[in-house]
Amino acid sequence: MSARAVLPCIAVLLVVAATPARDAKKELEKLQGEWTGVSLEENGKKIPDGHVKKFKLTIKGEKWMVQFGDKQVGDATFKIDPAKDPKRIDMTFKVEGDDLDSHGIYKVDGDTLTLCRAHGKAERPKEFKGKDDQYNIEVWKRVKK
């Protein structure tokens, strides 16, 4: 194959390789901003709505910050993979100086963000359902400015 024939092939490969990165960037933009808690199922138990509504989530870049009232209660970095079905999220929380990883799935439907993530060493969930003490299901609503 001549060099002239190889160049178009390389260009096509570069465009195909750049598409998932561009899609991830667009998807990440959808997550940016402030969110308020709607519902939370933790360890297989539904948390009362009045309590959940006191949670506020701020997503800035790949930083995930949760407040309860005025107190910072969660801090994580995350990576998403919107090419998977369901879309994947991998989070690393800082807890008392240690990194705790959590693998999950998420979906964005308009102004609603739904997340199902595993505790500890549990496998990544395959659907948006709780499973005893292995998964949290979080629903967030975008705060309108």
- CATH number for the domain spanning 76: value is 2.40.128
Q: For the segment 27-84, what is each residue's pLDDT rounded down to a tens digit?
A: 999 999 999 999 999 878 899 999 999 999 999 999 999 999 999 888 999 999 999 9
Instruction: Give the count of domains, the chain.
Output: 1
What one-letter code names the amino acid at 124?
Answer: R
Q: Percent of the chain at pLDDT above 90?
A: 58
CB 139 within 8 A of CB 39: yes
d(CA 124, CA 109): 21
The CA-atom distances, in angstroms, between 86 and each of 6, 45, 75, 108, 124 are 36, 23, 24, 11, 11
Q: Which H or E element spans position 31?
A: helix 3-31
**Domain boundaries, position 27:** 3-142
Q: Which H or E element spans position 50?
A: helix 49-52
For residue 18, what pLDDT band results from cuts at 50, 70 and 90?
very low
Q: For the segment 69-125, what is each residue's pLDDT rounded down to a tens digit?
A: 999 888 999 999 999 999 999 999 887 777 888 999 999 999 999 999 997 778 899
Residues in the chain: 145
pTM above 0.85, yes or no: no
